[in-house]
């Protein structure tokens, strides 16, 4: 583990990113992309543009858009999958810890960082003696839930809003870019807390809601469409540091409203999405650990 952690994954990821942006000759595009499609099982029939010659470089191909009808958004359930991927874990948050894969946990506070001021999120002030987990829960009788979705290299790489909510705050953690493959996640404790990630926090009709995009090897680029100030995988950063940005200002007191299914951001290659949110005790997930899921399908409801 120590040897793997010493690998300069950020440098390698930046180099890979530059390679991905090199324009390929037209005659080379089909054989290169066809190899990728065959290796990772990409379904190009869903792509908005099926012609492989259209994609000038690997980066454009990775970030390909889908046909509008390819991912119908479920209207019957309150929370949908924000992306294509594989369900690694889900359930109630217990003892201020979240499972990244079965049997391997990480600290909720280390992952999200210190609690954001209550004035910004319009939340009630929690008693000072409460745990970090209890401070996030704003309504009596609610619980904190989590869901982890792993995006493989062959998956659709854009992610969308999982519900109707208001984004108040962005916290960017520069960090390592180790692989988030489930096999690696089993033997590196708190992997998601070491890796670069972008935490979006806000609230929905039941209280606290957050979506975190976790970077990985070759995924130095995490883009949030409404956040032009976000720049990921910079050459220099301080270990353990983070920077905050508020979407609430004098001109925009409500933050960024997001509708269920609305485009939110994108990765290059594959990575992981972590949802942590508050909901009443009768919230039920409609999932099985290890199942494949597609954007727009139901995660859970009341």
pLDDT at 10: 64
Q: Which residues are catalytic?
A: 84, 160, 271
- Strand pairing report for 263-267 and 197-204: unpaired
% pLDDT > 90, the chain? 44
The confidence band for 5, taking pLDDT boundaries of 50, 70 and 90, is low
Q: For residue range 184-225, what is the model confidence (pLDDT) as tens digits?
A: 766 677 777 878 899 999 999 999 999 999 887 665 578 899
Separation CA 245–CA 224 (nearest Å) = 13
Contact 124, 73 (CB under 8 A): no
pLDDT for residue 255 is more than 90: no
| DSSP string over the chain | -HHHHTS-HHHHHHHHHHHHTSPPPHHHHHHHHHHHHHHHT--GGGBS---GGG--SHHHHHTPPBPGGGSPPPSSSSEE-SSSEEEEEEEE-BTTEEEEETTEEEEHHHHH-SPPPHHHHTPPPPPTTS-HHHHH--STTEEEEEEEEEPPTTS--EEE-SSSEEEEEEEEE--B-----HHHHTTSTTHHHHB-EEEEEEEETTEEEEEEEEP-TT---EEETT-TT---S-S---TT--EEEES--SS-TT-EEE-TT-EEEEESS--EEEEEEEEETT-EE---TT-EE-TTSEEEE-
pLDDT for residue 8 is more than 80: no
CA dihedral 36, 38, 44, 49 (to 10 degrees): 40
Query: What is the rounded end-to-end Cα distance, in angstroms, of the chain?
Result: 41
Q: How many CA atoms lie within 13 A of 245 on its CB side?
A: 16
Sheet holding 263-267, edge to edge: 158-160, 263-267, 222-224
Q: Which long-range contacts (CB under 8 A, 24 or more apart) does 61-66 make?
A: 61/33, 61/36, 62/20, 62/157, 62/268, 62/269, 63/157, 63/158, 63/266, 63/268, 64/156, 64/157, 65/158, 66/156, 66/158
Separation CA 61–CA 208 (nearest Å) = 35
Q: For residue range 122-178, what is the model confidence (pLDDT) as tens digits?
A: 554 555 557 888 889 988 889 999 999 989 888 888 999 999 999 999 999 987 777
> Model-level pTM?
0.88
Residue 227's nearest CA partner among 208, 209, 211 is 211
pLDDT at 203: 93
The confidence band for 119, taking pLDDT boundaries of 50, 70 and 90, is very low
Q: How far is CA 51 from CA 34, 37, 188, 232, 291, in A?
A: 11, 13, 40, 30, 30
Q: For residue range 267-295, what is the model confidence (pLDDT) as tens digits?
A: 876 688 999 999 999 999 999 888 999 99
């Amino acid at each position: 583990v120590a040897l793997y952690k010493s690998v300069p994954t950020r440098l390698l990821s930046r180099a890979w990113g530059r390679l991905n942006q090199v324009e390929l000759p037209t005659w080379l595009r089909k054989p290169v992309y066809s190899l990728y499609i065959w290796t990772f099982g990409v379904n190009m029939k869903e792509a908005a543009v099926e012609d492989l010659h259209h994609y000038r470089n690997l980066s454009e191909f990775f970030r390909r858009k889908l046909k509008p009808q390819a991912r119908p958004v479920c209207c019957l359930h309150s929370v949908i999958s924000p992306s294509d991927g594989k369900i690694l874990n889900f359930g109630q948050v217990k003892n201020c810890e979240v499972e990244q894969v079965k049997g391997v946990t990480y600290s909720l506070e280390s992952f999200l960082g210190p609690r954001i001021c209550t004035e910004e999120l319009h939340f009630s002030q929690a008693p000072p003696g409460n745990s970090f987990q209890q401070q996030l829960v704003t309504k009596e009788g609610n619980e904190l839930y989590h869901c982890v979705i792993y995006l493989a290299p062959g998956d659709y790489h854009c992610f969308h809003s999982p519900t109707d909510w208001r984004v108040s705050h962005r916290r960017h953690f520069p960090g390592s870019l180790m692989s988030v493959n489930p096999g690696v996640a089993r033997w590196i404790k708190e992997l998601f807390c070491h890796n670069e990630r972008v935490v979006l926090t806000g609230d929905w009709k039941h209280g606290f809601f957050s979506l975190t995009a976790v970077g990985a090897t070759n995924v130095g680029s995490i883009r949030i469409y409404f956040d032009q100030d976000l720049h990921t995988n910079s050459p220099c950063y301080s270990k353990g540091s983070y920077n905050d940005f508020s979407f609430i200002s004098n001109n925009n007191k409500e933050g960024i409203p997001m509708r269920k299914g609305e485009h939110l951001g994108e990765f290059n290659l594959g990575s992981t999405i972590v949802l942590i949110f508050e909901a009443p005790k009768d919230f039920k997930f409609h999932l099985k650990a290890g199942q494949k899921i597609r954007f727009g399908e139901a995660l859970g409801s009341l």
